[in-house]
Amino acid sequence: MSLQELPMVFVLLGLVFYVVLGGADFGAAMWQFAVGRGERGERIREHAHEAVGPVWEANHVWLIFVLTVTWTAYPAAFGSLASTLSVALFVAGLGIIVRGAAYALRSGSSDPREIGRIDAASAVSAVLTPFALGAAIGGLASGRVPFGNAKGDLITSWLNPTSIFIGALAVAFCAYLAAVYLAADAARRGDADLVAAFRVRALGAGAVAGALSVAGLVVLHEDAHRLYHELVAGNGLPALIVSVIAGLATFALVVRERFEPARFTAAAAVAAIVAGWALAQQPIFLPGLTVEQAAAPHDVLVTTTVAVLGGAIILFPSLVLLFRLTLGGHLGHAHEERAAAPVVRRDLVLAAAPGLLGRIAAACLLAGFGLLTVAEAGWAHAIGVVALFGFIVVGFAGTVPALLEGEPES
Amino acid sequence: MTHSLVTLAQALGPVQQEHLLQARQMQALSFAVHIPLVCFGIAFPLMVLVMEWMGHRTGDPLYLAIARRWSRIMVALFAVGVITGTILSFEMGLLWPNFTATFGGVFGLGFAIEGFSFFLEAIFIGIYIYGWDRLSPRAHMLSAVPIVLTGFTGSLMVIAVNAWMNHPGGFRLVRGEAVDIHPVDALFGNSYLWHELVHMYLAGYIVTGFVVAGAYAVARLRGRWGRYERTALVVPLTIAALASPVQLLVGDWAARDVAESQPTKLAALEGLGRTEKGAPIHILGWYHDGEVKFGIGIPKMLSVLAFHDPNAKVEGLDAVAPDERPPVNIVRICFQAMVGIGTLLALLGAIVLYLRVRRRVLPEWRWFYYGLAAAGPLSVVALICGWIVTEVGRQPWVVYRVMPTSQAVTAAGGIPVGYATLWIVYLAVGAGVVWILRRLARAPLPVGGD
């Protein structure tokens, strides 16, 4: 693999994470809506909402990662695909707005009628977004996005047989992944009723996704022959086989109620499909343009690679922490009170400090004015800014306790 | 240095787009919706953390109750910030594909790092919000520290890109394509970055401080004034009161940098038609035909402010061809609004600080609380006006004197449809946000446990 192709690997990894994590959030929103009324339906809804809560935002940043790395490392190809696929991407964007807003609003509501409406909006957007993003990928995969500023057809680039198939597949994957994860979460909580509910859903959605994948091969055969050929007889074949095995393994694990390993096999089955697409399509990015040709100059690729790897060093431990806390039940609203720690009463700041703090703050302000406003040199400006921030911090420490404790209750 | 708009920087070829103005307005709308949320992303986590720390230090459950309530508002606003930010990153490609195609390699790194920043922010907000009941106080407060830090690094990255657009460097242009690219230099070796960063970072604290304090000022005006309201008012008010006078000095610094790097923008925001020595400033008035009509003029003041010399020569709008000038009145009126509001806010801050020093009390006058209630929305107006000054003042360029906006835009049709749709969706989201904030404000205060 060349340096020119390395960022594409990052992009695809980001896409895989987005699909297996963010996709499951969309799936959860679908299940939240697609349950009956009554007490059991309510519990399923709450379970789907709560399981997603702590991880929702983080899962969706993967999409931003995908976009930013693509436009940094493959700028002209990004400009081409974003302009031609603008309608599909705009629809996906609207779906993301609605899903995110619904998520934010839901936490402020307790009225069942309001929640019902919010969940409905959420479910519509949760179908729309994966479909539109999948359809956009279908446009890329079937070679309908030419190089240039909106040079492709704004509609048929994403509403064509391949796109519709991949869009539908994306929706099915989201529902499938969510059902498996939610069954596993329910099993962790030891809620047999919820486990049964999501077990059935996982098996059903898995069967639908599998059947859709097979039917899709027919579509690809007719509509995107090169991709089809590479997928069933070329570079993509190993990934396809992995996906089939992982899918069957998930089925078996879910049947036997072994949900924790099923999380990973389900994710692997979906990830392998993304990998299969990439392997089948490579080295072509857009018609007549390979990934290598689309890549930015050497220095840009080096800095991007360094930035991504450096970011990953910080990111992955944080993500592991988040998921360990979430899956270990350390996050979420307490169902019982935590034992209250012994209360230590202390004053906010030392009694003698305020007068001194006031004088330091005044000195900082004066120094800041002299160095930032009167002086001309860059280094003076830098120190001046630090002094002014010092004024704010010290001034805060000197002001707040007096104002909080200075007045009698009224 | 004059350029002609014919020096086209473009990777995807020339563009015809009849709806350029709508594309710009669509971007502006997306930005205006997102940027107040950014302020809360920058400043609110620290305010919540300070409140929580005060609670653990004094053992007073009131502080913890406030921190807890604020953190629910924080996460709701953050969620809306995530989606409006996602839309902005979509629009980089949907509206400005030629800009991204030509210069993605130069500025893209900033957004890639910002993406990581955003990531960490999202992760730790999840831990902080859902960890209230389950983590030890120390672990819980520690989980807020990355949120505060990434609020800073995120704005650093985005501002680095904006500063580059205003003061581009780190590449050469050969036949319309960027070559010899040094992304690190382009983004962080840019003298223009620092004043923009500090100005925006402070604005985050001022907007958040006045908006939150303003909400409790309204409570006081309605007769609710217990220990809870006073405490929840004092902390954000103090931060805003300290930051707003400092912002005057930082803004002055920013204007001096603009005078040096973007003389045309300075000329537009002061309405200076002709290059002159000892240039005046005008307060209020209307720019027409090369001069400010009906304004209050202060002779030589512009030369003094911009160059610290009453006789310094200041470049006027006539230094560039008419089609390379920004729309003067929009930029100038927004500039005056920003400076005017900023000065009033600084005055409000100075009153608070003066009374604190003299008498150790909060102001008692009713008019002060009316002013404070108005300061919240006014600070948001000033914020958006400031960004209009920067962004419209850069027109007709997307990359200052390198690429005109008209060549950055998409060739795709349907921009008006997208623009109208976005308005509808954002109005709905805005209504939703107002609804949830009212709902959260009405919820009973969780003093003690939950």
pLDDT digits (tens, 9 = 90+) for B62-116: 999 999 999 988 988 988 898 899 899 899 989 999 998 889 889 989 998 998 9
Q: Which of A78, A285, A350, A403 to mutate to test the interface with B (most CBs of B within 10 A)?
A: A403
Choose the closest CB to B111 out of A68, A348, A365: A68
pLDDT at residue B8, as a whole number: 55
Going by C-alpha positions, the residue among B35, B24, B46 that lies closest to residue B383 is: B35
> Number of A:B CB contacts under 8 A?
354
Chain A contacts in chain B segment 413-432 (CB below 8 A): 413-414, 418, 421, 425-426, 428-429, 432
Using CA coordinates, name the residue in chain A closest to B226.
A410
Is the CB of B114 inside 8 Å of chain A's CB atoms?
Answer: yes
Q: How far apart are CA B30 and CA A291, in angstroms?
A: 32
Q: How far is A248 from chain B (nearest CA, A)?
A: 33
By Cβ distance, the residue of A71, A150, A297 closest to B411 is A150
Digitized pLDDT (tens) for each residue of chain A, 410 residues in all: 789 999 999 999 999 999 999 899 899 989 888 776 677 778 888 888 877 766 777 788 899 899 999 999 999 999 999 999 999 999 999 999 998 888 888 777 777 788 888 888 889 999 999 999 999 999 999 999 999 888 889 999 999 999 999 999 999 999 999 999 999 988 988 888 889 989 999 999 999 999 999 999 999 999 998 899 999 898 999 999 999 999 999 999 999 999 999 999 999 999 999 999 999 998 889 898 999 888 888 889 999 999 999 999 998 898 888 888 887 777 766 544 455 555 666 776 655 566 788 889 999 999 999 999 888 888 999 999 999 999 999 999 888 887 887 554 44
Residue B296 CB burial class (10 angstroms; 0-12, 13-18, ≥19): exposed
Record: contact B126-A57, CB cut-off 8 A: yes
Cβ contacts (< 8 Å) between A369 and chain B: which residues? 249
Residue length, chain A? 410
* Closest residue, chain B, to A342 (C-alpha): B59
Confidence of residue B362 (pLDDT cuts 50, 70, 90): confident
Contacting B residues, span 220-279, partner chain A, CB-CB under 8 Å = 225-227, 230-231, 234-235, 238-239, 241-243, 245-246, 249-250, 252-253
Cα of B1 to nearest chain A Cα, Å: 25
Nearest-by-CA chain A residue for B425 = A94
- Hey, are the CB atoms on A89 and B90 less than 8 Å from each other? yes
Given an 8 Å threshold on Cβ–Cβ distance, is B101 in contact with A78?
yes
Other Cβ atoms within 10 Å of A264 Cβ, number: 17
The letter for the amino acid at A47 is H
SS3 A107: coil
Residue A399: both structure tokens together: 């002001």
Are A109 and B134 an interchain contact pair (Cβ–Cβ within 8 Å)?
no
Enumerate the residues of chain B whose CB falls inside 8 A of the CB of residue A311.
Answer: 112-113, 115-116, 119
Q: Do B413 and A154 touch (CB under 8 A)?
A: yes
Q: Given an 8 Å threshold on Cβ–Cβ distance, is A56 in contact with B126?
A: yes
Report the alpha-carbon distance of residue B256 to residue B26 in Å, rounded.
Answer: 30
Residue B357 · residue B225 · CB < 8 Å? no
Contact B58 A346 (CB under 8 A): yes
Q: Are A257 and A283 in contact (CB under 8 A)?
A: no
